[in-house]
Structure 1
């Protein structure tokens, strides 16, 4: 059984933390990739997280298709104020999707070609959403630290 309000509070903490991180960095640093092969910018990581939330909480769980271009998420650049507004809209959307979720039911639009154990129920899918948010929040924090060190000439 999922305590909806607690679950949403955890997701909000992650999303708000990532939103505030890009706002604090500003447009230039938030759109910069650290000098590490394969690294992503904080802007791209947060854009990816918004795609993750929509895909799993809506498209997979409820069958409400939210268009997504996963590869483009990692190339995303833009104004952090626009991304912050996207985060706030996603928080509202997530609240609605979670309210319509039946934690014990199977997803309406299950992942194809994958045998993810967590995707057996809508509740498992929601835990996966939070897992991704928390992992990527950590990635963003490390990325921020690297970018700030680079900006200070410490890299």
Structure 2
């Protein structure tokens, strides 16, 4: 699927966008895989730190909310604060990410990226401080996934270093 963005003449291929979303999620899940189920729910000994599981869970919810709800207009009952308390298994998280990815693919079918999103984002969420087009929503999701991918890798490294002491 190709989406035209008339204001800039740019084109966005949904498959190309999803390639980068998948790379970010795959990187996060691979980092969790090196910790195993016995460590993915551990929090590093740093004030306010989140477990690797909670960070990836949060990322799945970010993608679901911003693309599914804000861009595509699906209903949302997101509890952002609860995302950082989430615990579970790597297999469960892999399933969640796969399901979110499938829904995103469907959400992007026929999306007019120069249009306004179907729903405004909640003012309680830490998103961009300006109105976004649908293309801006997609960029915001990539921004979040990229920064959290690095956070997961650093969190993994801290947890591994802590264990080796």
TM-score (norm 1): 0.91
1:83-102 matches, cutoff 5 A: 83-102=93-112
2:38 partner SS: helix
* Structure 2: gaps of 5 or more residues: 1-10
Residues 92-101 or 56-65, more deviating: 92-101
Residues 15-24 or 40-49, more deviating: 15-24
TM-score (norm 2): 0.86
- Quote the residue 2:8 is aligned against: none
Q: Which has the higher strand share?
A: 2
8 Å contact 1:23–1:81 — kept in the other structure?
no
- Quote the residue 1:20 is aligned against: 30
CA distance in 2, matches of 1:88, 1:115: 26
- Quote the residue 1:124 is aligned against: 136
Please tell me the root mean square deviation across aligned C-alpha atoms, in Å.
1.5
Which of the residues 136, 149, 162 maps onto 1:137?
149
8 Å contact 1:102–1:122 — kept in the other structure?
yes
Deviation at 1:111, TM superposition (A): 2.0
Q: Which has the higher helix share?
A: 1
8 Å contact 1:62–1:97 — kept in the other structure?
yes
Deviation at 1:120, TM superposition (A): 2.1
Which of the residues 10, 15, 19 maps onto 1:5?
15
- Quote the residue 1:149 is aligned against: 161
- Quote the residue 1:35 is aligned against: 45
* Structure 1: gaps of 5 or more residues: none
Q: How many residues align?
A: 152
